[in-house]
Amino acid sequence: HECVQRLIRCGFSGANVTLPHKSLAAGIAEIKHEDVEVLGAANCLLFDDKIHAKNTDIEGFYKPISHLKPNSAIVLGAGGASLAVCYALLKKHWQVKIYNRTIEKAEQIRQRLNEYGHIEVLQKPNPFGCTLVVNATSLGLNEDEIPELMWDGIHPSTIVYDLVYRESDTLFLQKAKSQGLSAIDGREMLAEQGALSLEWWTGKHAPREIMRKAVGL
């Protein structure tokens, strides 16, 4: 709160907020976008006479897959990123299956988002019948980490989307590509959520190509 007050005093128009401050940012805001109310998390604040909060992760995540026909998706992980991803997919009429090491946390997401569409908890990371696989765990930041997935059950046309981003492909994306699957890098979402935030603050088109280049895309 202290930090936000200081930013306002220094004349900042807004701020992008990252892990682990997204719930705090939602709590501080006086005017919250509906998505922020649902998720209890904001990654973007705008300051005028009030503090406004948005969650551009939702649209930022969806943009790289917006050309796909909604079908069935499996989401790995049940933290804050998974909650935003599941909500984004349900809003676009995807059927969502969620798998997490700690099943209870996946169940909590299911209960929270149940009213927005079809969401089920899996006991195993089985992608059978899914056209999209999303890694929303934090596994992959270290180059030898990979989330659990039953790769044998995967259809060849499935798209594999890793939220975790590095300078080069995560092991998860390397594995997907080695199986001939299409892969989406987490930097796509990173750049797009940033572009959407910039557009909200300035009311101008964001220089997406420059921003993408800055993260190595």
Q: Interface mask (CB under 6 A) for ligand NAP, residues 168-187, using x and -?
A: ------------------x-
Q: Is residue 98 near ligand NAP by the rule CB under 6 A?
A: no
Least distance in angstroms from the C-beta of 112 to ligand NAP: 14
Answer for which of 15, 29, 44, 81 binds ligand NAP (CB under 6 A) is 81
Active site residue 124: no
Binding mask 16-45 for ligand NAP (x = CB under 6 A): ---x--------------------------
Tokens of 14: 């807004």
57 binds ligand NAP (CB under 6 A): yes
- Sign, CA dihedral 154-160-164-167, equals positive
* Interface positions with ligand NAP (CB under 6 A): 19, 57, 77-82, 100-102, 105, 136-139, 141, 163-165, 186, 189-190, 193
